[in-house]
Chains A and B, each alone.
Chain A
Amino acid sequence: MSIAERSSFKYTAVGRLMSDPLAVAAVTIIALLVLCAVFADAIAPYDYKALNVRERFAPPSFVHLLGTDNLGRDTFSRLLFGARIALFVGLTSVGLAALIGLMLGMVAGFGPRWLDNAILFLFDTLRAYPTIILALALGALLPPGLGTVILVVVLTTFSEYGRVARTQTQALSAQEFIDAERAMGASPARILFMHILPNVLGPFFILAAINLPVVITIEAGMSFLGVGVAPGTPSWGATLKDGFDYIRNTPWLIVSGGIPLVLVTLGFTFLGESLRDVLDPKLRKER
């Protein structure tokens, strides 16, 4: 095999990813989600919060593709705007959790022993709260809204990133090139940011891709329980809650409200899996 062939598209990371049919399906689903979220205003046939009492409990038809809910709001339009909320909560909280986890994890892995132990204890303590139970506790104390959802998600997930960052940092700081840096008089900050950080980032993207659907599910779950988004917000979880409350009148709400959630979870999970296979086979066992 010539060098030119070896470096051809088929052998790049993206090329390998695109040769996996599941990854292609995953990317398609995620692209659809993003399109729905971005162009929700243009695609939605109705205003998602417009009440229409005369057409409440309307079954799916050409007028209302996925029917209406107990207040006569168009389900299809609400689900489109729900994509926006899911994506916003997902990206914001995964970003924040990864950032906090990265900082704490690198400090724990690089700093003195007592600091490492203290941070590990923090991680362990946060792990002691089952996610939905903490969500219910904080939901009882804080007003409902996207801020509360993001806070809960960040609190329950950042320790996972922290652990990965800590392990990576520890492994790296024992390596020769870091010793060489130290011998040349580099400051700890320089070592952390110039040499350790770039090496820690790789696994983070995989972890983020795997965590994104988990986060979206937590948001939907919290909204389903009524401790998530504010009432009236078209979260997928809220649609499912309406469907559950009126299960004998509007079964289509439960069916259609669950489908985007399942699709998105599948999409991101398959993408995460494929990314992991392509980028880092060693991480297979992490979850």
Chain B
Amino acid sequence: MGRYIIQRVALGLAILLVAISVLYALMITLPGDPTTVFLGPRATDEMRAVFSERLGLNNPVPVQILQFWGRIFSGDLGEDVLRNRPVATPVFAALPNTLILVLASIGWSAALGILLGAFSAACRNSLVDRVTGVLSVAMLAAPSFVVALWSLLIFAVVLNWFPAIGAGEHGDLADRIHHLVLPSFAIGLAWVGYIARIVRASMLEVMGENHIRTARAFGLPPHKIIYRYALRIAVLPAVSVLGVGVGGLLSSAVFAEIVFARPGIGRLIYESVISRNYPVVMGSMLVAIAFFVMCTLAADLVNAMLDPRLRTSKKS
């Protein structure tokens, strides 16, 4: 197990290094003069000279990538040249909002999805099961940004039940939760269906196993067997799937943050892309991709802990 962990962590770090380096190389090589890219078309020649000197833009590309990593490892995400502040300032101001949003979405969708999945497995082939099955696929299919737009229109613009803009006042918990409802609904809806399907399938598998049969032979009430014994094992695949799904969650979060004008990493990336503020684009993407790679890694490790077969066969 120890060897497996080291291998996976090393691979995860390598992936992160390569993925970010490629992105950085693209940024500095693709569209002509990098100083124009980083400083914008209105930069003076003097600004450009100072900037290329400071970032070492006259060096060959591999050296520049090494210098970029050198800055990152010394804790410097770069400088937001357009607004004269470190890139870390907006990035770390935005990060908690995104994390809260993602966690809230996972939370409600996992709770509902697990319940629905367990229920349809318990009443297999009943009308409820059939309807849940169709609904799960339907929820899975609804694009999250359409759900976000429709819920914005219905619940914020027409009915005025929830606020349309922002993340709420700092320190006012009720207000912040009120602002969280619609975005986390839009992000989580697809996951309800997905988790319900996974839990249903693994429930059916678990229900056929020996210890469940034994419990039944001892005369335990069915609801106790289902919700106490079987469900405990059946939710594990759903947990591991969530880790891998964080990428999709992050993508949905970009849309939810834009539609509901919520300050967060997704919105920061979007706004810096639109204003061509490349240092902020690079810094915020670094954080987002690192977060995603870590979640995938964590999911892999959790999976391996639960299922020893995965450890021995290194090939996924």
On A, residues with C-beta under 8 Å from B are: 22, 116, 120-121, 124-125, 127-133, 136-142, 163, 170, 213, 217, 220-221, 224-227, 240, 243-244, 247-248, 251, 254-255, 258, 261-262, 265-266, 269-270, 273, 284-285
Q: Which of B135-177 contact A (CB under 8 A)?
A: 137-138, 140-143, 145-146, 149-150, 152-153, 157-158
B249 to A, closest residue via Cβ: A130
Contact A140 B278 (CB under 8 A): yes
A141 to B25, CA, bound (A): 12
**Contacts A133-B285, A137-B285; is A251 near B273 (CB within 8 Å)?**
no
Contact A258 B149 (CB under 8 A): yes
Contacts of A255 in B (CB 8 A): 150, 153
Contact A130 B26 (CB under 8 A): no
Instruction: Please list 7 pairs of residues, one from A and one from B, whose beta carbons are closer than 8 Å in the complex, sorted by A's number.
Output: A121-B18, A129-B23, A130-B288, A220-B143, A221-B251, A247-B152, A254-B149
A133 to B291, CA, bound (A): 13
The 9 closest A-B pairs by CB, nearest first: A132-B251, A258-B146, A130-B247, A269-B141, A140-B273, A265-B141, A128-B19, A217-B143, A130-B250
Contacts of B141 in A (CB 8 A): 213, 262, 265-266, 269-270
Residue of A124, A133, A225, A226 near B250 (CB, 8 A) is A133
Contact B19 A125 (CB under 8 A): yes
Contacts of A142 in B (CB 8 A): 30
A181 to B43, CA, bound (A): 66
Excluding A132-B251, A225-B258, A225-B270, 8 further A-B contacts by CB distance (< 8 Å) are: A120-B315, A125-B15, A133-B254, A138-B26, A140-B276, A254-B150, A255-B150, A285-B201
A147 to B140, CA, bound (A): 28
B202 to A, closest residue via Cβ: A285
Instruction: Write the B216-255 contact mask toward A (1 if CB under 8 angstroms, else 0).
Output: 0000000000000000000000000000000110110011
Contacts of B251 in A (CB 8 A): 130-133, 221
A191 to B113, CA, bound (A): 45
Contact A247 B285 (CB under 8 A): no
A121 to B137, CA, bound (A): 32
Contacts of B276 in A (CB 8 A): 140
Contacts of A22 in B (CB 8 A): 134
- With an 8 A cutoff between CB atoms, is B269 at the interface? yes
Contacts of B274 in A (CB 8 A): 226
**Contacts A125-B18, A130-B247; is A136 near B153 (CB within 8 Å)?**
no
Chain A nearest Cβ from B103, distance in angstroms = 17
Residue of B15, B250, B258 near A121 (CB, 8 A) is B15
Contacts of B81 in A (CB 8 A): none
- With an 8 A cutoff between CB atoms, is B27 at the interface? yes
A251 to B, closest residue via Cβ: B153
Contacts of A170 in B (CB 8 A): 315
- With an 8 A cutoff between CB atoms, is B292 at the interface? yes
A128 to B21, CA, bound (A): 12
Residue of A124, A128, A141, A243 near B292 (CB, 8 A) is A128
Interface size (B, Cβ < 8 Å)?
A: 52
A226 to B274, CA, bound (A): 8
Chain B nearest Cβ from A157, distance in angstroms = 12
Contacts of A116 in B (CB 8 A): 315
B252 to A, closest residue via Cβ: A132
A116 to B266, CA, bound (A): 34
- With an 8 A cutoff between CB atoms, is B99 at the interface? no
Contacts of B208 in A (CB 8 A): none
Chain A nearest Cβ from B284, distance in angstroms = 9
A248 to B, closest residue via Cβ: B157
A141 to B24, CA, bound (A): 11
- With an 8 A cutoff between CB atoms, is B16 at the interface? yes
B14 to A, closest residue via Cβ: A121
**Contacts A140-B278, A140-B281; is A129 near B289 (CB within 8 Å)?**
yes
Contact A139 B152 (CB under 8 A): no
A170 to B296, CA, bound (A): 24
A158 to B40, CA, bound (A): 34
- With an 8 A cutoff between CB atoms, is B259 at the interface? yes
**Contacts A128-B16, A269-B141; is A133 near B289 (CB within 8 Å)?**
yes
Contacts of B143 in A (CB 8 A): 217, 220-221, 258, 261-262, 265
Contact A136 B254 (CB under 8 A): yes
Contact A240 B146 (CB under 8 A): yes
- With an 8 A cutoff between CB atoms, is B187 at the interface? no
**Contacts A128-B292, A140-B273; is A244 near B149 (CB within 8 Å)?**
yes
**Contacts A133-B254, A240-B149; is A128 near B26 (CB within 8 Å)?**
no
- With an 8 A cutoff between CB atoms, is B11 at the interface? yes
A129 to B145, CA, bound (A): 19
**Contacts A130-B289, A240-B149, A269-B137; is A251 near B269 (CB within 8 Å)?**
no
- With an 8 A cutoff between CB atoms, is B293 at the interface? yes
Residue of A124, A266, A285 near B11 (CB, 8 A) is A124
A32 to B190, CA, bound (A): 25
A142 to B276, CA, bound (A): 12
**Contacts A133-B251, A136-B270; is A141 near B152 (CB within 8 Å)?**
no
- With an 8 A cutoff between CB atoms, is B75 at the interface? no
- With an 8 A cutoff between CB atoms, is B41 at the interface? no
Contacts of A265 in B (CB 8 A): 141-143
Contacts of B26 in A (CB 8 A): 137-138, 141
- With an 8 A cutoff between CB atoms, is B31 at the interface? yes
Chain A nearest Cβ from B174, distance in angstroms = 26
Q: Which of B14-70 contact A (CB under 8 A)?
A: 14-16, 18-19, 22-23, 26-27, 30-31
